[in-house]
Amino acid sequence: MTDKLIIFDTTLRDGEQSPGASMTKDEKLRIARQLERMRVDVIEAGFPASSNGDFECVQAIANAIKDSTVCGLARANDRDISRAAEALKGANRARIHTFIATSPLHMEKKLRMTPDEVFEQAKQSVRFARNLVDDIEFSPEDGYRSDMDFLCRVLEAVIKEGATTLNIPDTVGYAIPELYGDFIRTLRERIPNSDKAIWSVHCHNDLGMAVANSLAGVKIGGARQVECTINGLGERAGNCALEEIVMAVRTRRDYFQLDIGVDATQIVPASRMVSQTTGFVVQPNKAVVGANAFAHASGIHQDGVLKARDTYEIMRAEDVGWSANKIVLGKLSGRNAFKQRLQDLGVEMESESEINTAFAAFKELADRKSEIFDEDILALCSDESVTAEKEQYGLVSLSQRSETGERPHAEVVFTIAGKEYQSAAEGNGPVDASLKAIEAHVKSGAEMMLYSVNAITSGSTESQGEVTVRLQHSGRIVNGVGADPDIVVASAKAYLSALNKLQSKVDRVAAQG
């Protein structure tokens, strides 16, 4: 026998409380639609009393979403609750989530209220809200740091007033998994009418344990709703990450014995959408949604995954919305991964010794180059050397000027076969101007298929920028990579490196024919 774990997403409310993560109405609506597509049970859309703008966001989401419950947050007062009810009017399924702090610290220092006043206000607010909407969630803010006896008194009373979900926040991320799980279990055991409500967990990640605490609240405490956000977005160090909760409960169904209604294949698209909307980059090694979550760079792992993917993967990349797992070829790769890539690329090798020769060349190249692209391998296998190309083109210096309201201008000094040349051009931006200056002289006629910039060190503005430029000419595709703390310089280096590769291919073809 299993029962259901309700997934309550608060990306649009608690997630938005993350400094710098403020979203427009259209952005919130787009994310809400994605959450509905993902079939989350409850979408906390915002805090309607906080501003007219957020009221309109909640209203728009309530009107647009048909399948998920739409929830609005409200302080424990009539005005906030009325605003929430008003914003939620158009919802198919509406929930008001009202809260008031119950910890001694918050009551005394922040609310400046006595426990008896908080008790009365909590009761009164739930009663008021229940007259407006049937589905009422109550949260004792900073619940985990509250006195157990007082909390039991408040929660028993609000259930009597009609609260249907009781959410126990670890507002400041202070909990430890076993202790938090025991805390929820004790509340449920001690409160006589506890079975009249669904119990929920809401954990913050200040000590990096939001997911672990939430899972303990479910397993040890018996909670049946988890509050979480996409990518773990949220106040300070964030909230419990939705993707981790969903995949932990799914992957270890043997242990949790719970059903989840979420369509996990929508997780990666949701993660990308939230990351692009907020500008909060997902770290590559982030569980489930990080770019490396299903990538393998070392030979022993690659060999294992190619033989049986569950040797090193406990989930399938496709099941969370990635197109496939990723074998990244580099200096730590082994022969089997290399052979598999040859097969995928349609390269046929006559003998093992031919493969061995290509593999040795690949290893030698990988020692000098951080990532090996497919065209590098194709070049290796047709007996071409990808990095041993003659340095036909080289960068000497670059200067550029960009000023608000002025068209950027660049001057580039470079060498062609050892001889120095200078060229200047204007462009839409400094990078565009620099590359146009080079192209104006070189006249390669190559088409740019890709331009991308990555920070390759700390991720701060002091980072080295690594630029990749992909050029196409006469059916040949090459990647040029350039790194420099100045991304305009890195771009020029990448462009010249790609031109070198094009040139060396032309030379090889000429030599062969």
Ligand X SMILES: CC(C)C(=O)C(=O)O
Ligand Y SMILES: CC(=O)SCCNC(=O)CCNC(=O)[C@H](O)C(C)(C)COP(=O)(O)OP(=O)(O)OC[C@H]1O[C@@H](n2cnc3c(N)ncnc32)[C@H](O)[C@@H]1OP(=O)(O)O
Which one among 37, 67, 111, 261 touches ligand Y, defined by CB under 6 A?
111
Q: Rounded to an integer, what distance in angstroms lies between the CA atom of residue 433 and that of residue 252? A: 54
Shortest distance (Å) from residue 277 CB to Mg ion: 20
Tell me the window of 23-31, 43-51, 208-216, 439-447 that interacts with ligand Y (CB under 6 A). 43-51
Distance from C-alpha of 257 to C-alpha of 254, rounded to nearest angstrom: 6
Cα 271 to chain center, whole Å?
Answer: 4
Scan residues 139-168 and list those touching ligand Y (CB under 6 A): 141
User: Quick one: which of 82, 17, 34, 92 has its CA closest to 55?
Assistant: 82
* Residues 190-209, mask of contacts with ligand X (x by CB under 6 A): ------------x-x-----
Find the residue with minimal CB distance to ligand X. 169
Write the binding mask 113 to 152 for ligand X: x where contact by CB under 6 A, - elsewhere: --------------------------x-x-----------
Q: Does 336 bind ligand Y (CB under 6 A)?
A: no
What's the maximum distance between 2 C-alpha atoms anywhere in the chain?
93
Of residues 202 and 301, the one with the C-beta less far from ligand X: 202
Please spell the DSSP secondary structure of 225-285, one letter per residue. Answer: EEEEBGGG--STT-B-BHHHHHHHHHHTHHHH-EE----GGGHHHHHHHHHHHH--PPPTT
Work out whether 75 is an interface residue with ligand Y (CB under 6 A). yes
DSSP three-state, residue 197: coil
- Mask 161-180, x = binds ligand X (CB under 6 A)? ------x-x-x---------
Of 45, 100, 191, 471, the one binding ligand Y (CB under 6 A) is 100
Which residue, 158 or 361, is less far from ligand X as judged by CB?
A: 158
Sign of torsion over alpha carbons 29, 90, 73, 261: negative
Does the annotation place 14 within a ligand binding site? Answer: yes
Interacting residue with ligand Y among 42, 58, 76, 438 (CB under 6 A): 76
The continuous run of DSSP H or E covering 424 comes out as: strand 419-426
Give me the count of residues in the chain: 513
Pairing type for strands 409-416 and 419-426 reads antiparallel
User: DSSP string covering 348-409, please?
Assistant: --SSHHHHHHHHHHHHHHHTT-SS--HHHHHHHHTT--SS-----EEEEEEEEE--TTS--E
Nearer to ligand Y, 17 or 464 (CB): 17
- Residue 342 and residue 381 in contact, taking contact as beta carbons nearer than 8 Å: yes
367 is known to lie in a ligand binding site: no
Binds ligand X (CB under 6 A): choice among 9, 14, 80, 375 = 14
- Choose between 9 and 14: whose C-beta lies nearer to Mg ion: 14
- Considering only 25, 33, 39, 50, the residue that binds ligand Y (CB under 6 A) is 50
Rg, the chain, Cα only: 29
Residue 337 binds which entry of ligand Y, ligand X, Mg ion, none, CB below 5-8 Å type-dependent: none
- Are the C-beta atoms of residues 310 and 304 closer than 8 Å to each other? no
Residue list, annotated binding site = 14, 202, 204, 239
Binding site for ligand Y (CB under 6 A): 14, 17, 47, 49-50, 75-77, 99-100, 110-111, 141, 171, 235
Residue list, annotated binding site for Mn(2+) = 14, 202, 204, 239
Binding site for ligand X (CB under 6 A): 14, 99, 139, 141, 167, 169, 171, 202, 204
